[in-house]
Amino acid sequence: MKFLLTKELGRLVKWLRILGFDTEYFKQDNTSSLIIEALRSGRIIITRNHRLPRSGGIQITVIEAERIKEQVAEVLKALKIKPDSDMMFTRCILCNEKLKEIEKEKVKDKVPEYVFKTQEDFITCPKCKRIYWQGTHWGDVTKTLKEIKWNS
Ligand SMILES: [Zn+2]
């Protein structure tokens, strides 16, 4: 399942990437380009815009919630998705690229010293080169996810 989100849903883009979903962010106002892009890439459009044309072959999910946690819950419910912990934290939240493992030695000068001392496993984005590690960047994410009721 791949998604294309419209520009008012920037925070939700990050969240869907955290959950491991291939999520592109469409920042233009041009509705026809949005539809063409969704068709071309086989993505489900997620938007807050009620007025998108319902043309053939396009799947559109309209989000009503304004708060981010409720938006995440709404997407999961509407698309009947169960988050998979093996999928989480596998994508760069900035670029949507799949993250790759990187040897600890190689991140020595790229992360804060205390992180290097306390963490063993690091992953990196092949595109933007950002380094991720368990705990710090994603510390609040796991907590927030627990607050969202998946099965409601
Ligand atoms: Zn990246």
DSSP states along 31-60: HHHHHHHHHHHT-EEEES-TT----TT--E
pLDDT digits (tens, 9 = 90+) for 84-112: 888 988 999 999 999 999 999 999 999 99
C-alpha 126 – ligand 1 centre gap (Å) = 7
pLDDT at residue 151, as a whole number: 45
- Using DSSP's 3-state secondary structure scheme, residue 122 falls into strand
C-alpha 22 – ligand 1 centre gap (Å) = 13
pTM of this prediction?
0.89
C-alpha 53 – ligand 1 centre gap (Å) = 32
pLDDT at residue 92, as a whole number: 95
C-alpha 132 – ligand 1 centre gap (Å) = 10
C-alpha 80 – ligand 1 centre gap (Å) = 28
Which pLDDT band, with edges at 50, 70 and 90, does 136 fall under? low
Which pLDDT band, with edges at 50, 70 and 90, does 135 fall under? low
User: Within its chain, how far is the Cα of 21 from the centroid?
Assistant: 6
